[in-house]
Amino acid sequence: MANRKNRTHRATQRQAASGSEPASPVLAHAADPASETVETAETVETAETVETAEKVAPTARVAPIDTATPFEVLAEYERRSLAHAAGVPEQIEALGLWRGIGFRIDDRYFVSSIAEVNEILTMPAVTVVPGARSWLLGIANVRGNLVPAIDLRDFTGGGRSPTGDTTRLLLIRQHGGSAGLLVDEVLGQRSFSEQQLSTTIGESDERYGRFVGENIQLGDVLWGLFSMAALTRSAEFQQAAA
């Protein structure tokens, strides 16, 4: 017992002589290289995990097309289509364009409001109606509906229209149903600005004066604004019997 006390006393004297203090458990742990390695590895792993999560998170919000639900697929297609078409309707409306369907009768060019032309057809087979006027070509069966086919050129006094590859039937609405107007050619959609509509020219041809109130000069072509409503309301149009 006395020997142990002497050894402890001598160790204390040597520490006092060297000026060092007993190391605390905390400092001893901090100075341990193995401890620093573990802590550094944990810190790096945590930082990499957070960085990876931040990079992956935005991509994970949009499900891939092959794994998305049908609703998500449709929503994505709608988003893409709206992104490409954004602003188009507003631009057309802002310009104040008047739109119509252009067509030709002989050497005259006309355009009717796009709201007055329901459909454009190739010339269907017709059943001739006995005792009818020459401009009533007959009755056509359009998807189960009986539609009178009218030669618009003949109706306006220009003679019978020759049928060919460009001949088309304009399907329009009339009181009690539809009517088909045979024209020499359909020239697609035509648009006119408010400024062009304000500089119109009157119709000089008596054959078309009842249906064409104004004409618009566009380049080398004079477009007559043909009113389908005025046509179907005319007494002559409603009396097809010879």
What is the three-class DSSP state of 193?
coil
- Quick: pLDDT tens for 20-64: 444 443 333 334 444 444 444 444 444 444 444 444 444 444 455
Cα separation, 138 vs 216, in Å, equals: 33
Q: What is the mean pLDDT of residues 7-26?
A: 47
Model pLDDT for residues 201-238, shown as the tens digit of each residue? 999 999 999 999 999 998 899 999 999 999 999 999 99
Cβ neighbours around 228 below 10 Å, total: 21
CA 212/CA 203 separation, integer angstroms: 6
Superfamily of domain covering 98-238: CheA-289, Domain 4 (2.40.50.180)
pLDDT of residue 148 exceeding 90, the answer is: yes
Q: Over the stretch 84-127, which tens digit does the pLDDT of each residue have?
A: 444 444 444 445 789 999 999 999 999 999 999 999 999 999 99
The continuous run of DSSP H or E covering 40 comes out as helix 33-60
Q: What is the pLDDT of residue 176?
A: 84
pLDDT at 191 over 90: yes
Across residues 3-17, what is the average pLDDT? 50
> What does the chain come to in residues?
242
Nearest to 227 by CA among 159, 136, 152, 145: 152
